[in-house]
Structure 1
Amino acid sequence: MAITTCIFDAYGTLLDVAAAARTAAEEPGQAQLAECWPDIAQNWRLKQLQYTWLRTIMEDHADFWTVTGDALDWALAAEGIEDAALRARLMELYRELGAYPEVAPMLRKLKEAGLNTAILSNGTPEMLEAATVSAGIRGDLDDILSVEMCGIYKPAKVVYDMVGRRFACAPEKVLFVSSNGWDAAAASAYGFTVAWANRADEPVECLPGKPAHVLRDLSGIPALAGI
Structure 2
Amino acid sequence: MTLSQARAALAAASRVAVLTGAGVSAESGIPTFRDAQTGHWARFRPEDLASPPAYRRDPEMVWEWYAGRYRDVLAAEPNGAHHLLARLEREKGAGFFLATQNVDGLHARAGSGQGGGRMVELHGTLLSARDEVTGEVFPLPAPDVLVTPPISPTGHRMRPNIVWFGEYLPEDALHAAQRAFQAAEVALIVGTSGAVYPAAGLAGETLYAGGTVIEINPEETELSDQMTYCVRDVASRGLAALMS
TM-score between both structures, scaled by the size of structure 2: 0.46
Larger % of helix: which? 1
Rg: which structure is higher?
2
Higher relative strand content: 2
